[in-house]
Structure 1
Amino acid sequence: MSKYLLNKFLFTVDRDADLVERYREDPAGTVAWWEAEEANRLLNCVATEQSTWLAFDDEERAALAGHDYPKLFELGAHPFLTLTLFIAMFERDYEEPLGFQLEYARKLAHFSLPYPDIST
């Protein structure tokens, strides 16, 4: 398991409006593409500099492909990164103000202190 890679996925997808839409419409395909093409690209480096060993495990891949943010939180994904990305994807589906944020809070309500470790 790599909390770093989970957070890197959430961070990079959230910063590209086209990727946000792609992830909303085709989560499994986006996760597979991102893992193959982007996971080993070093942040803030030229495209040719890459690592070779980063990959999601099956549990991480399933949580990302299923938009399962409670599971991502349990796995140690940073809650701010999950919240901002999932707001971008799903807030439009709610009519009431803060609709998605309230749903997010409801689905994470079963967690109590201490929360899962989010350090990388």
Structure 2
Amino acid sequence: MSRYYVNKFLYTVDRDPELLRRYKEDPRNLVATWEQSIGPKLSDVETSTVHSLTDAEREALINHDIVALFEMGAHFFLSLTIFIAIYDDEWTAKYGPLSFQRDFAKRLAHWEGRDYPPVGE
């Protein structure tokens, strides 16, 4: 796994309201677009050909699979913030404050007492 590339996706999409909206509405298309045109950008004039997503990473991002991303080593804070941005209003309206965060913790309960996956390269 390229933790860097997955984390770059989570970071850049979370900080751009238009990308975040597109990721929520059509994750498959946004992941493909990001991987082809946004992810390779190093600056306005430089691009990289070094990184690409694996099939597992791509599917986890498309499916908003926060547990798979965590277990692959995506940074938990980046994962949490992007999915809060996507789901928190909906979950709070249905289940009350911090409901998404509580569900996230419950879905990762099998990690209790174990070392977390490394988040750096």
User: Which among 73, 78, 92 is matched to residue 76 of structure 1?
Assistant: 73
Tell me if 1:7 matches 2:7: yes
CA displacement at 1:103 relative to structure 2: 1.1
Which residues in structure 2 correspond to 1:41-56 (within 5 Å)?
Answer: 41-42=41-42, 45=43, 47-56=44-53
Cα distance in 1 for partners of 2:79, 2:11 equals: 9
Cα distance in 1 for partners of 2:18, 2:82 equals: 12
Runs (4+) of structure 1 exceeding 3 A deviation are none
Q: Which residues of structure 2 form unaligned runs of 5+?
A: none
- Map Cα deviations across residues 17-62 of structure 1 (whole Å, 9 max, x no partner): 11111101101111000000011111xx3x2211112110100000
CA displacement at 1:2 relative to structure 2: 0.3
1:100 is aligned with what amino acid? F
User: What is the match of residue 119 of structure 1?
Assistant: 120
TM-score computed with the length of structure 1 as normaliser:
0.93
Cα distance in 2 for partners of 1:23, 1:110 equals: 28
CA displacement at 1:15 relative to structure 2: 0.4
User: What is the match of residue 25 of structure 1?
Assistant: 25
1:85 is aligned with what amino acid? I
1:103 is aligned with what amino acid? D
1:73 is aligned with what amino acid? F
TM-score computed with the length of structure 2 as normaliser:
0.93
Cα distance in 1 for partners of 2:63, 2:72 equals: 14
- In percent, how many aligned pairs have the same letter? 48
1:115 is aligned with what amino acid? Y
The two structures, once aligned, show a CA RMSD in angstroms of 0.9
Is the partner of 2:101 in helix, strand or coil? helix
Structure ranking higher in helix proportion: 2
Is the partner of 2:111 in helix, strand or coil? coil
User: What is the match of residue 105 of structure 2?
Assistant: 105
